[in-house]
Amino acid sequence: MSVFLHEYRPYTGSTTPLWNRPLVLARYAFKEAWASKITTILFVAALLPCVVEMVMIYLAANPVARTLILRGSPVLTINESFFLNVLETQCWFALVMAAWIAPRLVSFDLGDNALPILLSHPISRFSYVLGKFLALALSLSYVTWLPVIVLFVYQCYASPESWAMAHLGLAFGILVGSLLWIIVLALVGLAVSAWVKWRVIATGAMFAVVFVPAGVGGIANAILRTKWGLLLNVPVIMTEIWQRLLGAPAFMNPRLELPSAAMGVMLLLASLLCIAVLNARIRAREVVRG
């Protein structure tokens, strides 16, 4: 055959299973999120405290260092409170990262009306959100439980075996605490990004969504002379939950302590609200009306 006419030819190969499609979405979303330099910068910034903490663990385990540097002071004890602080720091970094990444995941799709084409492929609205969620969750994992578990493992290695045995529950606490925060953060991030059109505003809105209700809760507390306003205070709720998961000593004024169940319900409600918002926004944009 001398002349090759490259005409359209049908596809005769194999297709991937349906459950694989959200993973395709997740893969591309992940690449999109990390294509930005700022993401990398935030990531590096988030790991810096971990480096400091690693040094602290080293010093705490090294008797020579302890005597030399700290002259036996109890400042550098590696216990639940220590890990609580570590987790808290990392999770706040996660907030910043989510505020930056989540808009990148969603706004590019919405900006040029890609949803009709996207959803004309065999993925449902749920799969679409799931894919984005997985990408975001993985990115946030890189700065939350992954480095903290690494620190924990290092601590187990550096300290005598009895410590590891006694504090095994910490690992569980770190994991669950982080995952809880990741889920809430990812859902809020995606919902806010789907709601607001411009990425910069979406980033600001993320912070607003976390901190404004806290202010409102505080006012409610003061006016109504109650403690239930604290339920709107996300920083406080999360710290409480982490503290209870890690078994760290309570830091709150006992009068202001909230039952775990209430906090759990609050988070669940927030998540459901986000899911509802996402559903509404995607439904609104999946078909061009008029």
Partner 1 sequence: MGVIALDRLEVRLGGRTVLNGLTGELRGHAIGLLGPNGAGKSTLINTLLGFHEPSGGNAKVLGLDARTDRMRIRQSVGYMPENDSFIGNMSGVRFVRYMAELAGLPPAAALERAHEALFYVGLGEVRYRKISTYSLGMKQLIKLAQALAHGPRLLILDEPTNGLDPTARQRMIQLIKEVRKEGSMHMLISSHLLRDIDETCDEVLILNKGRVAAISNIEEERRSHRNFIEMEMSGSTEEFAQKMRAMGCECACFAGGRVKVVMPDALSARDLYVTAAGTGTEIRRIQQRRDSLEDIFLRAMEYEGDRVGDSRQQVFAAGVES
Partner 2 sequence: MNAVNDTIRFENVSKFYGEVLGVNRITLSLEPGVTTLVGPNGSGKTTLMNLMTGLVQPSRGKISLLGLEPSNATEFFCNVGYCAQFDSFPRGLTGFQFILDSLMLFGMTDEDAHALAAEALERVQLDAAAAHRKIAGYSKGMRQKIRLAQAVAHHPRVLVLDEPLNGLDPMARAESLALFQELGRQGLHVVISSHILDEVDRVADRVVLITGGYLIAQGNIHEVRQEVRDKPMQLLIRCDNPELLASKMFAVNHCVEARLHADGRGVFLRTGDVDQFYRLLNEIAVEGKVKIEAVAPFDDNANAIYQYLIGSDGSTQ
Q: Which of these, 284, 95, 100, lies nearest to 202 by C-alpha position? A: 100
Tokens of 181: 């925060």
> Toward partner 2, which CB reaches closer, 5 or 75?
5
Number of residues that bind partner 2 (CB under 8 A): 4
Report what 4 binds from partner 1, partner 2, none; CB cut-off 5-8 Å by kind.
partner 2
CB of 24 to partner 1, least distance (A): 5
| Region from 3-11, 36-44, 72-80, 234-242 binding partner 2, contact rule CB under 8 A | 3-11
2 near partner 2, judged by CB under 8 A:
yes
Q: Cα(172)–Cα(247) distance, rounded to whole angstroms? A: 11
- Asked if 8 is part of the footprint of partner 2 (rule: CB under 8 A), the reply reads no
* Using rule CB under 8 A, residue 6 touches partner 2: yes
- Smallest gap from Cβ 111 to partner 1, in A, equals 6
Place of tokens 């995952």: 179
Task: Say how many CA atoms lie within 13 Å of 182 toward its Cβ.
Answer: 23
The piece of 60-68, 159-167, 178-186, 282-290 that touches partner 1 (CB under 8 A) is 282-290
Would you count residue 289 as binding partner 2 (CB under 8 A)? no
The interface partner of residue 28, options being partner 1, partner 2, none and the CB cut-off 5 to 8 Å by kind, is partner 1
Compare residues 6 and 289 and give the one whose CB is closer to partner 2: 6
Options 3, 165, 261, 287; binder of partner 2; rule CB under 8 A: 3
Alpha-carbon radius of gyration of the chain? 23
What span, in angstroms and rounded, lies between the C-alpha atoms of 71 and 84?
A: 25
Q: Give, rounded to a whole angstrom, the gap between the first and last alpha carbons of the chain.
A: 51
**What CA–CA distance (Å, rounded) separates 197 from 213?**
22
Return the number of the residue (25 or 94) whose C-beta is nearest partner 1.
Answer: 25
CB 83 within 8 A of CB 249: no
Does 11 bind partner 2 (CB under 8 A)? Our answer is no
Find the binder of partner 1 among 68, 121, 228, 260 (CB under 8 A).
Answer: 121
Q: What does the buried/exposed string (b/e) look like for 258-276 if buried means 16 or more CB atoms within 10 Å of the residue's CB?
A: beeeebeebbeebbeebee
Q: What is the x/- site pattern for partner 1, positions 30-49, by CB under 8 A?
A: --x-----------------
Q: Which helix (H) or strand (E) holds 29?
A: helix 21-34
Specify the residue, 16 or 253, whose C-beta has the smaller distance to partner 1: 16
Q: Which residues contact 129 (CB under 8 A, 6 or more apart)?
A: 190, 275, 278, 282
Residues from 151 through 210 that contact partner 2 (CB under 8 A): none
Instruction: Please report, as residue ranges, which positions from 74 to 93 form the binding site for partner 2 (by CB under 8 A).
Output: none
Distance from the Cα of residue 67 to its chain's centroid: 39
Min. distance of Cβ 53 from partner 2 in angstroms?
38
Alpha-carbon gap, residue 128 to 133, rounded angstroms = 9
Binding site for partner 2 (CB under 8 A): 2-4, 6
Binding site for partner 1 (CB under 8 A): 6-16, 18, 20-21, 24-25, 28, 32, 108-109, 111-124, 286-288
